[in-house]
Amino acid sequence: MKRIGMLTSGGDCQALNAAMRGVVKCLVNSKENVEIYGFIDGYKGLIYGNFRMLDGHDFSGILTKGGTILGSSRTPFKTIKDPDENGIDKVDAMKQNYYKLRLDCLVILGGNGTHKTANLLREEGLNVITLPKTIDNDLWGTDMTFGFQSAVNIATDAIDCIHTTAASHGRVFIVEVMGHKVGWLTLNAGMAGGADIILIPEIPYDIKKVVGKIQERNNNGSKFTILAVAEGAISKEDAKLSKKEYKEKMKNYKFPSVSYELAQQIEKMTGHEVRVTVPGHTQRGGSPCPYDRVFASRLGAEAGELILKGEYGFMIGYRNREVVKVPLEEVAGKLKMIAPDASIVKEAKLLGISFGD
């Protein structure tokens, strides 16, 4: 008998259900007797012993379903070792619930913060296997995360829709794409949607270069310009500030986001009308695209096989078009960022896309 705990932590995304289904299908098809304990709302469920028993029926018909059937929440790693408001030791509570249920393994689906906590539990002696979910595609140790391609599709659709109205009215449009620290989603959606300017956190922008690109297009007869802007895009001036100085500046920040600040600057410097569109959480919602359904199912199946073999302490990742197991300690605490000299950036520039640098 294998007793498996399962939880989804952090922000939701497409294909979480598909990945969990892949794990369970692998275990069930192996003819191994299994019990699945689903912890509700991420690590909170593991901390407070909030779970429910799951069977094959729970995983039927969820391949195409977005979100997560277990619910999710954010449990910041930086406070995971701090007692909760009632004085409960969160790490100890998770361990106790693991042992109380006599679990053989925890399957944890999540992004960067989730993996830090998962690695901590591994260090505390628990058997853990993780699956890489995030629309940001910023997890170290894997070329791809599930949820990313679905989010790219949605962000690209938003840019596609903006193109027609931008062209009709001859306006500058900014489409703000999710991504606080990394720009994979903005870069891919921007290229797929034919954006003229792409601004990402890894490449601080010069507003004069941004305006220069808009004026260049105008001089060449293009009456509109599309900017794909990551929510974490930063100017060269702000990038030079220390963390303390930047934090102090943001206390008095009067704009909803960087896109609105850019819009005001562009209007002042060019006289063009600028509109901002924010797809927001639509990028994390809806059904997973076919790629993510297949990809998440593959990762889930590999996780199931590791459980059957009794191999723990790994994230199931994807490298060089192959599914691989990556030691958790190599993943935790690292971000996969875009190098400013990366080939995809160079190729985007060859297409005439400006990064404002």
CA dist 19 and 240 (Å) reads 41
Buried b (16+ CB within 10 A) or exposed e, 301-327: bbbbbbbeeeebbbbbbbeeeebebbe
Strand 2-8 relative to strand 105-110: parallel, antiparallel, unpaired?
Answer: parallel
pLDDT per residue as tens digits for the range 91-141: 999 999 999 999 999 999 999 999 999 999 999 999 999 999 999 999 999
Q: Looking at the chain, list the stretches that DSSP marks H as alpha helix, in order from N- to C-terminal side.
A: 16-29, 43-48, 90-100, 112-123, 148-169, 184-192, 207-219, 236-239, 243-251, 258-270, 290-309, 328-331, 343-350
Looking at the predicted structure, is the pLDDT value of residue 249 above 90?
no
Say what the pTM is: 0.94
Residue 88 pLDDT grade (very low, low, confident, very high; cuts 50, 70, 90): very high
Looking at the predicted structure, is the pLDDT value of residue 207 above 90?
yes
Whether 136 is catalytic:
yes
Which amino acid makes up residue 202? E
Catalytic residue among 58, 136, 196, 292: 136
Strand 172-177 relative to strand 128-132: parallel, antiparallel, unpaired?
Answer: unpaired
pLDDT per residue as tens digits for the range 49-66: 999 999 888 999 999 999
Q: 291: burial class by Cβ within 10 Å (0-12, 13-18, 19+)? A: middle
pLDDT per residue as tens digits for the range 154-199: 999 999 999 988 888 888 999 999 999 999 999 999 999 999 999 9
Complete domains list, the chain, with CATH: 2-147+288-331 (3.40.50.450), 149-284 (3.40.50.460)
Q: Report the half-sphere exposure of 342 (CA within 13 A, side-chain side).
A: 14
CA dist 238 and 177 (Å) reads 20
Q: Which of 199, 245, 251 is nearest to 225 (CA)?
A: 199
**pLDDT number for residue 169:** 83
pLDDT per residue as tens digits for the range 7-51: 999 989 999 999 999 999 999 998 888 999 999 999 999 999 999
**Left, alpha or beta for 15 (phi > 0: left; psi -120 to 50: alpha)?**
left
CA dist 210 and 343 (Å) reads 21
